[in-house]
Amino acid sequence: MKNKGSSDSRREKILDISAKLFSKHGYNGTVLRDIASALDMKAGSLYYHFDSKEQLVLEVLTIGVENIIDTVKKEVESLPESSSSKDIISAAVQGHLSALLEKGDYTSTSIRNLGQLPESVQADILVIRDRYEDMWRSLLLDAQQKGEIKSSVNLKILRLSLLGMLNRTLAWYKKGDLSIEEIAQFQVDFFWDGIGDKSV
């Protein structure tokens, strides 16, 4: 009988390596033998833990999106009840960036690979991503209803633009240049206060 703890540990290692390779090479650029080789095991042994490449990437993606959801919720819920909408949005942005930039390959895989995935995997992961986008819909709508975002602002475009900008950070972020807190503040300020010099 196989040791369950050992099996779970091996499964976690497979997920970690898979996330790293999917993040670096994409879903289409990663084959099971690459994952097996990185783990010094035979490709066929992966099927003891996962039925298919699709199941493997779906689990990696699910962990990544759930990580973003949990991190953003934690940041927002840590604020005082009296916090302004800008403070709340800033906390959500910081949580998103922290999950994206500090917590590894799972989260970046969920951002970079969606378009490459089989339709069945896309459908499953979009259900979870919709939960996350619902969080943002709620935060932005609440801010608008409080009068802290202008009533003329299209919240869908704002949400998509903001999340797109945050996700694009993956392409240029270098650890040590700016802190995640500083980047989050700059990005929120671009939306909240604009970039024009009002003194001119």
Q: What is the CATH number of the domain that holds 179?
A: 1.10.357.10
- Structurally, how many domains does the chain consist of? 1
Q: What is the pLDDT of residue 62?
A: 92
Helix (H, G, I), strand (E, B), or coil: what is residue 124? helix
More confident call, 187 vs 5: 187
10 falls within a domain: no
Which whole number is the average pLDDT over 84-99? 95
126 falls within a domain: yes
For residue 158, pLDDT over 90 is answered with: yes
Tokens of 63: 């962990």
39 within 8 A of 11, measured Cβ to Cβ: no
88 falls within a domain: yes
pLDDT band at residue 88 using 50, 70 and 90 as cut-offs:
very high
Which whole number is the average pLDDT over 127-151? 95
Measured CA distances, 136 to 23, 72, 130 (Å): 25, 10, 10
pLDDT band at residue 199 using 50, 70 and 90 as cut-offs:
low
Tokens of 169: 């950070």
100 falls within a domain: yes
Q: What is the pTM of this model?
A: 0.86
161 falls within a domain: yes
For residue 148, pLDDT over 70 is answered with: yes
46 falls within a domain: no
44 falls within a domain: no
Query: What is the C-alpha end-to-end distance of the chain, expressed in Å?
Result: 76
26 falls within a domain: no
Which whole number is the average pLDDT over 59-82? 93
Rounded to a whole number of angstroms, the CA Rg of the chain reads: 20
What residue numbers bound the domain in which 160 lies?
52-192
Which whole number is the average pLDDT over 165-194? 89
**Can you tell me the distance from the alpha carbon of 119 to that of 7, in angstroms, rounded to the nearest whole number?**
30
Tokens of 88: 């709340």
